[in-house]
Amino acid sequence: MAYTNEHFKKVREAQSRSYSPYSKFKVGAYLRTKDGNEFYGANVENAAYGEAICAERSSLVAAISQGYNPGDFESLTITVDADNPSSPCGSCRQVIKELCDDDMPIYLTNHKGDMIETNINDLLPLGFSGKDLNI
Kindly list the catalytic residues: 56
Residue 49 marked ligand-binding: yes
The 10 Å Cβ neighbour count of residue 107 is 21
Residue 89 marked ligand-binding: yes
Residue 74 marked ligand-binding: no
Residue 54 marked ligand-binding: yes
Distances (CA, A) of 105 to 3, 32, 34, 49, 70: 9, 10, 12, 29, 15
Residue 43 marked ligand-binding: yes
Residue 100 marked ligand-binding: no
Give the contacts of 123 (CB within 8 A, at least 6 positions apart). Answer: 87, 88, 93, 96, 106
* Amino acid letter, residue 126: L
Task: Write out the binding residues for substrate.
Answer: 43-49
User: Which residues does the annotation place in the binding site for Zn(2+)?
Assistant: 54, 89, 92
Residues making up the binding site:
43-49, 54, 89, 92
